Amino acid sequence: MKVLFVCLGNICRSPLAEGLFREMLRREGLEGRVEVDSAGTSDYHVGEPPHPGVRRLARQYGFSLDGKRARQLTAQDLARYDLIVAMDRSNLDEILTLSPEARGKAHLLMDFAKAPEKDVHDPYYTGDFEWTYRQVEAGCRGLLQHVKGRLGVVPPPASPS
Ligand code: 4NP
133 C-beta neighbours (distance < 10 Å), count: 21
Distances (CA, A) of 153 to 58, 85, 113, 156: 27, 21, 20, 9
Q: For 17-35, what is each residue's pLDDT tens digit?
A: 999 999 999 999 999 999 9
- CA-nearest of 73, 87, 72 to 20 is 87
Domain of residue 56: give its range: 2-151
Residue 159 lies in a domain: no
The pLDDT confidence band at residue 156, using thresholds 50, 70 and 90, is low
First to last CA, the chain: 36
- What CATH number corresponds to the domain at position 22? 3.40.50.2300
Side-chain half-sphere CA neighbours of 10 within 13 A:
23
Task: State if residue 10 touches ligand 1 by the CB under 6 angstroms criterion.
Answer: yes
What's the pLDDT tens digit per position in 57-97?
999 999 999 999 999 999 999 999 999 999 999 999 999 99
106-132 pLDDT per residue, tens: 999 999 998 899 999 999 999 999 999
pLDDT of residue 26: 98
User: Is residue 156 one of the residues assigned to a domain?
Assistant: no
Ligand 1 lined by 30 (C-beta under 6 Å): no
- Please indicate whether residue 6, judged by its CB atom, sits closer than 6 Å to ligand 1: no
Is residue 160's pLDDT more than 80? no
**Residue type present at position 128:** D
**C-alpha dihedral sign at 77, 78, 79, 82:** positive
C-alpha 42 to ligand 1 mean position (Å):
9
Hey, which of 5, 7, 10, 11 would you mutate to test ligand 1's pocket, going by the most ligand atoms within 8 Å of its Cβ?
11
